Amino acid sequence: MSLLDQAHSLRELANRTSNDVQAVVSRRRAAATSRTIAITSGKGGVGKSNITAGLAIALSRRGQRVIVVDADLGLANIHLLFGVSPIYGLPHVISGQMPMEEVLFTGPEKVRLLAGGGEVAEVAQFAPDERQRLLTAMKQLEEMADFVLIDTGAGISSNVLTFLASATELLLVTTPEPTALADAYATLKTVAKQQLGTRMMLAINVVGNRTEGEATALRLVKTCRQFLQMEPEIIGLIPRDASVPIAVRRQQPLLTAFPQCAAAQAISGIAERLLASKAVVVAGRTGAASAGAAKSTRKITSRL
């Protein structure tokens, strides 16, 4: 099955009553009270899991009910950042072995976790019944939380795309490195082609200084505008911060171990901006809709 076919059948599963994909997706998002944000990247090791864990805690501290889904099935490891070791998780739900209530793990600061790993990790592409169970699970999670944060694998495998299609918003993480940027652009291109109508946000991590962060963000946004007729919203610049690897080694969430460090502050800023901005439904190719956003890009980065 091609990626496009898979995304299509996923949407059909989501609502069997209509073939009008965009309408279905828009209706579902308009009705949703919770927000499902997929944190993704082109290249691996750019900080997705740390940002996901940080956002989860920052949002929880602001009174939000948060569930983190470890969808990086091959390299599932976000539980390590929370310093917990759940036995069961997403693979057991996808395979139909266990119900959701029994696998959700309550971690630090009231953040609940649907851990990854296990045998499903070996599967490159979900079977139809697995995809159906995943969709049902995602709907269940939405009912139990204000924010569902999905930590996806890097790149666009068909499984990653399945998770992206189940999210209302996408947060793409990149670093200023040319390789990470090229992969980030390739990911945006693939996602834009799918016309999922997902809000696209961009965070630049491991930024050396503000100028570098801004230049990186603007370059990527400009390229998207020129070649994809869409542009991601810049939601945050996160500095390179020696506290991050220290917290990782201690297996403590960054926001718990070093709440005042620059990276923790930047991640908290992203949480604030997420709370301030409602989920918006945009067309896959936003074109004119994003012209205003283009002009205000500089203004946005000056506030980060």
Ligand X SMILES: Nc1ncnc2c1ncn2[C@@H]1O[C@H](COP(=O)(O)OP(=O)(O)O)[C@@H](O)[C@H]1O
Q: Which of 120, 150, 180, 206 binds ligand X (CB under 6 A)?
A: 206
Task: Name the segment binding ligand X (CB under 6 A); options: 4-12, 101-109, 190-198, 240-248.
Answer: 240-248
Per rule CB under 5 A, is residue 50 in the interface with Mg ion? no
- From the list Mg ion, ligand X, none, partner contacted by residue 44 (C-beta under 5 to 8 A by kind): ligand X
The CA-atom distances, in angstroms, between 30 and each of 34, 62, 183 are 10, 23, 31
Within residues 46-75, the interface with ligand X by CB under 6 A covers 46-50
- From the list ligand X, Mg ion, none, partner contacted by residue 189 (C-beta under 5 to 8 A by kind): none
The gap from C-alpha 200 to its chain's centroid, in whole angstroms, comes to 10
- The angle subtended at Cα 275 by Cα 39 and Cα 113, nearest 5°, is 45
- The angle subtended at Cα 143 by Cα 111 and Cα 28, nearest 5°, is 125
- From the list ligand X, Mg ion, none, partner contacted by residue 205 (C-beta under 5 to 8 A by kind): ligand X
* Closer to ligand X by Cβ: residue 15 or 251: 251
* Closer to Mg ion by Cβ: residue 116 or 284: 116
CB 29 → ligand X: shortest distance, Å?
Answer: 26
Task: Name the segment binding Mg ion (CB under 5 A); options: 68-76, 89-97, 193-201, 288-296.
Answer: 68-76
Q: Which of 36, 40, 49, 64 binds Mg ion (CB under 5 A)?
A: 49
Task: Name the segment binding Mg ion (CB under 5 A); options: 53-61, 65-73, 181-189, 281-289.
Answer: 65-73
What is the b/e burial string over 84-100, where b = at least 16 CB atoms within 10 angstroms of the residue's CB? bebebbbbbbbbeeeeb
CB 272 → ligand X: shortest distance, Å?
Answer: 18
CB 151 → Mg ion: shortest distance, Å?
Answer: 6
140: amino acid identity, one letter: Q
Task: Name the segment binding ligand X (CB under 6 A); options: 2-10, 28-36, 37-45, 141-149.
Answer: 37-45
What is the b/e burial string over 186-203, where b = at least 16 CB atoms within 10 angstroms of the residue's CB? ebbbbbbebebbbbbbbb
* Closer to ligand X by Cβ: residue 13 or 246: 246
CB 155 → Mg ion: shortest distance, Å?
Answer: 12
* Closer to ligand X by Cβ: residue 25 or 202: 202
* Closer to ligand X by Cβ: residue 6 or 50: 50
Within residues 242-301, the interface with ligand X by CB under 6 A covers 244-245, 248, 263
Task: Name the segment binding ligand X (CB under 6 A); options: 25-33, 39-47, 119-127, 216-224.
Answer: 39-47
Residues lying near ligand X in the complex (CB under 6 A) are found at: 41, 44-50, 205-206, 238, 240-241, 244-245, 248, 263
